[in-house]
Amino acid sequence: MFCGYVKEFYSKNIDRKFKQSNLKVRYGNKEEIKMFESGNKDKKIYILGSSGYLGGLCLEYMKSRGYTVFHERIELSDFSALTTMFNKIKPDVVINCAGAKAYPTVDWCEDHKEETALVNVVGAINAMTAALSCGAYPIQICSGCIYQGGKRKVFTEEDKPNFYGSFYSRMRVVMQDALKELPVLQARIRMPLSSIPHKRNFINKIAGYNRVISIPNSVTYLDDLWPALEVLMEKKPTGILNLTNDGYIDNGHVLEAYKKIIDPTHTYEIISLLALQGPGGITKAKRSNCVLSNVKAKELGIIMPALNKKRLEEILRKYKENLNNKVL
């Protein structure tokens, strides 16, 4: 149901959304501009994890842009199955959006460590090495939840992780360290947000909590992420790349906009980090709070504008329009 709705949404909106996108792409010459505008539709893309939130949105976006997209489910723990499929299809690009369930929160990973490690570490390594073995450009969607610092420190791709407070984050560090030895693009996102309601959308999540912390954090607006991936599929950089919007947001600002646009009766309480994750707190595992630098992405020609008050309210108005089609 969710993917069907997303398909309809993108088919109606993709041309207008892309032309009017706040994501700006800079190129050095007319040939590059022509290349990007054509979209290089001969490309074959294999998307892993297409039944999930990120993968489903990525799938429908890339299909709407005219790419040939494959998304048959493959067990990431089965390296042989991955290589067999990739060698059969010969994709130009493999995008791994799959991840452990981690729902309703990352505390799920504390009680499902084997499954988390199998998907987020072993599965990611299998997917990327299988992609490399068939000559595809490998893109791993990964997480910036490996730092702690609020707005005091803006973390670059070269900064070593400093947050190990949850099993989820520790496994992300293990995956990152393994993949950085290979010619893989690690597309690092944080707190993915969209105008399409879904239980994994950051808007849904934060609105579902009665008590929240309000600390500056980077965010990735998915309507900006997918065009960015198109650029990267052409330029083919490897290594770690932060794909977050300029600046940061905090939960309090998001919830105030939510009250204004979506539900004026919504109530919540701002609590301290200690009350959230300290002794006798709400969560089982600690939470990462950090701001990531996107300077490196800008150097590649990608600009993902900040979610300032005006833009955040625009997103929430679109979100409100889509609420009748939400999947929780």
User: Is 0.75 topped by the overall pTM?
Assistant: yes
Q: What is the pLDDT of residue 326?
A: 56
| pLDDT > 80? residue 263 | yes
pLDDT digits (tens, 9 = 90+) for 271-306: 999 999 988 899 999 999 999 999 999 999 999 999
Mean pLDDT of 79-90: 98
pLDDT digits (tens, 9 = 90+) for 97-146: 999 999 989 999 999 999 999 999 999 999 999 999 999 999 999 999 99
Mean pLDDT of 154-181: 97
Q: What is the pLDDT of residue 31?
A: 45
The mean of the pLDDT values for the chain is: 89
The lowest-confidence range among 19-33, 153-167, 261-275 is: 19-33
Q: What is the pLDDT of residue 12?
A: 53
By residue count, the chain amounts to 328
Confidence grade of residue 30 (pLDDT, cut at 50, 70, 90): very low
Higher pLDDT, 187 or 102: 187
Name the percent of the chain lying above pLDDT 90: 83
Confidence grade of residue 152 (pLDDT, cut at 50, 70, 90): confident
Instruction: Give yes or no for a cis peptide into 264 (omega within 30° of 0).
Output: no
Q: CA-CA distance, 194 to 42, in Å (whole number)?
A: 28
Q: What is the pLDDT of residue 151?
A: 86
Name the percent of the chain lying above pLDDT 70: 86
| pLDDT > 70? residue 267 | yes
